[in-house]
């Protein structure tokens, strides 16, 4: 963050775009614990850490915006992705909390919650899901 401020004279926008899931994610009763912690470290802790260091710079710059990437699965759930769903749900909760906390400092904090995009990678990880109608290619 210091390098950004030194180079550009301030920080006004922070976009936290880390995240992802893996084929190891599963139901809470089946997913390996290290898979859960991997999702928490990447999706939640990465967002939290960037906000921890970025928000003071945004405040010093007179305000701005934080944009966090959540997921539609934070709100609707899905089969076999309980670690990812938990992490993105936490990103959404953290976003709401920071929005309240930093409004007085002229900082908007919002999240974007996109749905899945049917790329080859996503399709390969998805199982047949009668709710979404999307099936994995073999």
Determine contact, residues 57/66, Cβ cutoff 8 Å.
no
> Cα 17 vs. chain centroid, distance in angstroms?
7
Residue with tokens 């934070």: 74
Q: The dihedral of CA 91, 97, 100, 102: what is its sign?
A: negative
Spot the catalytic one: 36, 73, 84, 102: 84
Q: How far is CA 33 from CA 37, 38, 100, 114, in A?
A: 6, 9, 32, 26
Is 84 a catalytic site residue? yes
Q: Per DSSP, what are the bridge partners of residue 107?
A: 64
Task: State the catalytic residues.
Answer: 84
């Amino acid at each position: 963050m210091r390098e950004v401020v030194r180079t550009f004279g301030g920080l006004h926008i922070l976009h936290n775009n880390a995240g992802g899931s893996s084929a190891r994610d599963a139901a809470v009763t089946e997913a390996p614990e290290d898979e859960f912690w991997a999702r928490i470290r990447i999706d939640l802790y990465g967002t939290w850490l960037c906000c921890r260091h970025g928000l003071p710079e945004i405040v010093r710059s007179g305000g701005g915006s934080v944009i966090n990437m959540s997921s539609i699965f934070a709100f609707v759930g899905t089969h076999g992705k309980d670690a990812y769903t938990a992490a993105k749900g936490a990103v959404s909760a953290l976003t709401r909390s920071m929005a309240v906390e930093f409004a007085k400092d002229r900082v908007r904090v919002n999240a974007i919650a996109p749905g899945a995009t049917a790329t080859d990678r996503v399709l390969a990880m998805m199982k047949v899901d009668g709710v979404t109608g999307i099936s994995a290619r073999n």
